[in-house]
Structure 1
Amino acid sequence: MDTIFALATAHGKAGVAVIRVSGPLALECGARLAAKSLPARGMRMAQLKDGAGEVIDDALVLSFSAPNSFTGENVVEFQLHGSTAVVGAMLEELGRQDGLRLAEPGEFTRRALENGKLDLAQVEGLADLIDAETEAQRKQAQVILAGELGDLAERWRADLIRAASLIEVTIDFADEDVPVDVTPEVESLLAGVASDLEKETAGVKIAERIRNGFEVAIVGAPNVGKSTLLNALAGREAAITSEFAGTTRDVIEVRMDLAGLPVTLLDTAGLRETEDHVEGIGIERARQRAEKADLRIFLSEDFQDIEDLYQEGDLRFFPKADQRADASGAISGVTGQGVDQLVSLVSEQLKERSTQAGIATRARHRDAMQAAQTSLTSARQILARGPEFYDIAAEDMRSAIRSLEALVGRVGVENLLDEIFSSFCLGK
């Protein structure tokens, strides 16, 4: 196994930079650069020198002996002053050390997976935590990183292993009198796991939205103030506004943090009949994006005009409150009237939906759980047909177990690993 190194903090000037080394030669390399022995687990202040004896920097050197480290290998971390010159000199010196090489993207985390320090779901949680921009994303990623999905999968797996074992004992003693009918316990175990899987699978869509962002579309006829409202919500001139109808011809997106949730606001083309080919394309795109959005904000004088797009929970306002004698139920991006109420309503809607999120956050998780559900449904149906079919039911249970093992990366995910780890930086 190679010994790898990389900068673990961001490139550029900083107060402190961290360079990580992992592998069999890590402790030896650290001791050589620090010119002093390192503890099996601890820290040393040291003056780091290159091969010619020139001082690179004064640094704090942390050492971790296998298996008690992030990667499960010997690890040394150098905490240096974060200048580009110091970091460059240190990386250059490490590159000259025999047996060391620069890490590939995500290689430290991949070694943690291979050495049993993390399961695959935790790896995905770590990637989400690094990418988290809002409080909801951070909390969701922390749950996955803490291993809660893996714990769930292990509990389901243990129940299915017991169920399969009970059935297989019955098969093994098919020619003898088995003193206890195991079918009720097996059915209870299968039903419990199936119920949990159904609940968790249903929550994946919302969890994905927390991870990737909710979409909220502003919809209405031309010149009702959609782009002005978007600019007011964004706090900047994100969309061009004018008195001419049809100014917005494509969907304009603005990403925001609303009440700790990631939200992408969509300013759509004004909905109307038109003979302009380009504007017609924009209107069709607007309708498609609005239909797929999680929530729609309608600005209209007559909501019957857009009734076909309305979905339960959508918000409706009269436009241009600043130009109306009666501004009740209206909103204005020009004066800000009603904007705070709108933000509050959108936040409440999305927070309520977020409570339905499960622990699983990705399509891969959903697919594995749905595969397990399918196998369990088949197993329960076959189980009801009697002991002569128990061997088939047992195989369906084993298939469900394999699906749960794929959920946490034990089997069948080798083709996904390169794609997953390529999203990590070199030092992670």
Structure 2
Amino acid sequence: MVNNDTIIALATPSGAGAIAVLRVSGKDAITISAKLFKSIHGKKLTQQKTHTIHLGHIVDGKKELDEVLVSVFKNPQSYTGEDVVEISCHGSPYIQQEILQLFLRNGCRMADAGEFTLRAFLNGKLDLSQAEAVADLISSDNEASHKIAMQQMRGGFSSEIAKLREELLNFASLIELELDFAEEDVEFADRTQFKALVDRISFVLKRLIDSFAVGNVIKNGIPVAIVGEPNVGKSTLLNALLNEERAIVSDIAGTTRDTIEDEISIGGIGFRFIDTAGIRETKDEVESIGIKKTFEKIEQSQVTVYLFDSSNSISNLEQVTLEIEKIKNKYPQKPLLIIANKIDRLDDTQLARLQNEIEGVHLLSAKTGFGVESLTHSLLELINQGALRNNETIVTNTRHYDALLKALEEIKKVSEGIDEGLSGDLMAIDIRQALYHLGEITGQVTNDELLGNIFANFCIGK
């Protein structure tokens, strides 16, 4: 699938900047670079030690393109496991393209998306789950997703899977050995120990599978739908949470005709807030479409925030309670935060009545900012951060989740086979399948199509 030719790509974002970095990798990376690099001290790049940096110029014949720093990394002590050269030049787009085109004319090929990391995987520098964590690390936009990606890139998840697979493989070898002596009717694999191992593997797999519920929302941001009747302050609340005028605010009911989304980090975790159209009976066709989208967004959200205008509702709290019960009954499994907005318009007696009649209500004035901090704390409490705080392995990748589910299904079959006293040849089939699915996660079992799908999602230059 992958050539062993020499590739080049821009490793920094395209566009103007102070500096840009071009990365070259392959068997001819150093020799091609040496031909195009002129050291200010007359050094020959091919004779330099690994992990050294050299000042000079990139030259095209007699023409100097730029003064650069060239970093040399010799195989296997490099990111890709091949000879690698990184060229730090000035960040002019013109200079970047001139150097890139010069290297392409002199034997390099433009790297495909993720090809540097793919080569690192194929050369044993990373396993597949670590390689995928590189992409997650690049795309992480909050502390929690960054922490999970760093843990996986360091091999925390890989080592846990590898240990399970190794232990299962050892017993599988004994089961396979029994097949060679089937006529003698002997057992090399102690069934009691094997049962204990299978139970332990099942426990670990279930824990990893359960962690995906937390890991997935941390990685992608936790969607929070802000719902309520028109003109209760949903857009004002969104602006207060984001600390900017993101949504249009007016006294006209139905101003928000469509959903507005934006994301912020609270306590290191990304929350994606969705300001929805007000829920009410309307003959306005455009507003009706917005209300329909509101219910769609509630379906998609992990958390629902129900907002009501306390100043208008204080005389009819029964209606508010009815609306709250409707949402609870329709979405019984979805966490619901009840927010009484515009409390700055209420006196102490009204506030006391509000808190007595609506259980668990949060008091808020989106206009003044009162209660916003308390709301953010309440949102954090809804997220199970125990595994994150305890530095446990958390699964964030859908491919890993699917492989774990399949592995668990096969392990359950093995467990049932032990209980029923099945012969080794029947259990061996299920054991092989479990090993296959565990191997898929780290790349011990792979194919070109799978690798193509994974690395196609990487950025070019990584």
What TM-score do you get using the length of structure 2 for normalisation? 0.86
Q: CA deviation at 1:179?
A: 7.3
SS in 1 for 2:443: coil
Q: CA deviation at 1:338?
A: 1.4
Following the alignment from structure 1 to structure 2, what is the Cα–Cα distance between the partners of residues 278 and 154?
55
Following the alignment from structure 1 to structure 2, what is the Cα–Cα distance between the partners of residues 240 and 145?
42
Aligned residues: 426
Following the alignment from structure 1 to structure 2, what is the Cα–Cα distance between the partners of residues 355 and 294?
18
1:366 matched to 2:384:
no
1:266 matched to 2:274:
yes
1:47 matched to 2:28:
no
1:395 matched to 2:429:
yes
1:345 matched to 2:354:
no
> What value does the CA root-mean-square deviation take over the aligned residues?
2.3
What amino acid does structure 2 have at the position aligned with 1:189?
Answer: L
**Match among 385, 391, 396 for residue 420 of structure 2:** 385
> What is the correspondence of 1:89-100 to structure 2 with a 5 Å cutoff?
89-97=98-106, 99-100=107-108
SS in 1 for 2:370: coil
Following the alignment from structure 2 to structure 1, what is the Cα–Cα distance between the partners of residues 386 and 337?
15
Following the alignment from structure 1 to structure 2, what is the Cα–Cα distance between the partners of residues 181 and 49?
64
Percentage of identical aligned residues: 38
* Alpha-carbon spacing, 1:75–1:305, altered in 2? closer, same or farther (3 Å): same
Provide structure 2 residue ranges, at least 5 long, that are not aligned to the other structure. Answer: 39-43, 314-319, 353-361
Write out per-residue CA displacement over residues 256-294 of structure 1, whole angstroms, 9 at most, x where no aligned residue.
Answer: 111111110011222233344443333232123224322
> What is the correspondence of 1:194-213 to structure 2 with a 5 Å cutoff?
194-213=202-221
SS in 2 for 1:398: helix
Q: CA deviation at 1:412?
A: 4.0
Write out per-residue CA displacement over residues 402-423 of structure 1, whole angstroms, 9 at most, x where no aligned residue.
Answer: 0011112232453233333233
Q: CA deviation at 1:231?
A: 1.4
Corresponding residue for residue 326 of structure 2: 308
> What is the correspondence of 1:285-304 to structure 2 with a 5 Å cutoff?
285-300=293-308, 301=313, 302-304=320-322
Q: Which moved more, 1:138-147 or 1:415-424?
A: 415-424
**Match among 310, 317, 338 for residue 339 of structure 2:** 317
What amino acid does structure 2 have at the position aligned with 1:3?
Answer: T
Q: CA deviation at 1:358?
A: 4.4
Write out per-residue CA displacement over residues 58-91 of structure 1, whole angstroms, 9 at most, x where no aligned residue.
Answer: 3222212222211111111122233334323321
SS in 2 for 1:216: strand
Provide structure 1 residue ranges, at least 5 long, that are not aligned to the other structure. Answer: none
Following the alignment from structure 1 to structure 2, what is the Cα–Cα distance between the partners of residues 400 and 67?
33
User: Is the 8 Å Cα contact of residues 262 and 273 (structure 2) preserved in structure 1?
Assistant: yes
User: Is the 8 Å Cα contact of residues 201 and 358 (structure 1) preserved in structure 2?
Assistant: no
User: Is the 8 Å Cα contact of residues 230 and 267 (structure 1) preserved in structure 2?
Assistant: yes
**Match among 74, 87, 90 for residue 96 of structure 2:** 87
User: Is the 8 Å Cα contact of residues 387 and 393 (structure 2) preserved in structure 1?
Assistant: no
What TM-score do you get using the length of structure 1 for normalisation? 0.92
User: Is the 8 Å Cα contact of residues 218 and 269 (structure 2) preserved in structure 1?
Assistant: yes
Q: CA deviation at 1:312?
A: 6.5
**Match among 402, 416, 422 for residue 456 of structure 2:** 422
Q: Which moved more, 1:19-28 or 1:218-227?
A: 218-227
User: Is the 8 Å Cα contact of residues 406 and 434 (structure 2) preserved in structure 1?
Assistant: yes
1:187 matched to 2:195:
yes
Following the alignment from structure 2 to structure 1, what is the Cα–Cα distance between the partners of residues 189 and 110?
60
> What is the correspondence of 1:48-63 to structure 2 with a 5 Å cutoff?
48-63=57-72
User: Is the 8 Å Cα contact of residues 299 and 317 (structure 1) preserved in structure 2?
Assistant: yes
* Alpha-carbon spacing, 1:181–1:333, altered in 2? closer, same or farther (3 Å): closer
Write out per-residue CA displacement over residues 207-263 of structure 1, whole angstroms, 9 at most, x where no aligned residue.
Answer: 011111001111222221111111111222222223232222322111111111111
What amino acid does structure 1 have at the position aligned with 2:448?
Answer: E
Following the alignment from structure 2 to structure 1, what is the Cα–Cα distance between the partners of residues 101 and 187?
72
User: Is the 8 Å Cα contact of residues 200 and 358 (structure 1) preserved in structure 2?
Assistant: yes
